[in-house]
Amino acid sequence: MRHVDFSPLYRSTVGFDRLFGMLDTLSQPDAGTSYPPYNIERTGTDAYRISMAVAGFSDEEISIEAHRNVLTIKGEKNESESEEGVELLYRGIASRTFERRFQLADHVEVSGANLKNGLLHIELKRNVPEEMKPRKISIGSAANTSKQIEAKAA
């Protein structure tokens, strides 16, 4: 049995329900999808880049979509573009369709993408709103604020 029950942890944590869902999906076996290969790089303090090897694909054959913290990259090769009169003896360059999904953290947005020399580079930027950034809370001292009741003179 490879399933872990996270329900006891729900009562002692607040706001981590999506994290437990992601951990639960990690335990499920991935269908061996290793195509296309990719790298994830940190290019700055709040900047990242996904580099994906998509040799043989043009920018019209690749679509990138970001929706609700999921980045989806699809590639569909048009088989009708094969040259007439050319017989393919060996296919070593993979040109099959693919779909690759990446789970993005909160406040991570796609800032751009470009295709150069068979590598698709997708630029990501984390933009944390000002109200979500950590702030220092000052601790006030409890100076002698108690009021003293004076007795009336007789």
Specify the higher pLDDT residue, 101 or 153. Answer: 101
**Mean pLDDT computed over every residue of the chain:** 78
Entry pTM: 0.63
SS3 29: coil
Of 43-52, 96-105, 132-141, which gets the smallest average pLDDT?
A: 132-141
Q: Tell me the mean pLDDT in the region 90-105.
A: 84
Does the structure show a pLDDT above 80 at 22? no
pLDDT at residue number 83: 64
In order of start, what are the domains of the chain with their CATH numbers?
A: 1-30 (no CATH), 35-79+90-129 (2.60.40.790)
Residue 18: which region, alpha, beta or left (left: phi > 0; alpha: psi -120 to 50)? Answer: alpha
Q: Tell me the mean pLDDT in the region 72-83.
A: 76
pLDDT at residue number 123: 93
Q: pLDDT tier at 132 (50, 70, 90 boundaries)? A: confident
Q: Which residue type occupies 3?
A: H
- Residues 115/59, Cβ–Cβ less than 8 Å: yes
- Residue 50, C-beta contacts closer than 8 angstroms, at least 6 positions apart: 38, 39, 40, 41, 71, 102, 121, 122, 124
Q: pLDDT tier at 130 (50, 70, 90 boundaries)? A: confident
Q: Tell me the mean pLDDT in the region 37-55.
A: 90
Specify the higher pLDDT residue, 117 or 30. Answer: 117
pLDDT at residue number 4: 66
CA dist., res. 57 & res. 38, Å (int): 15
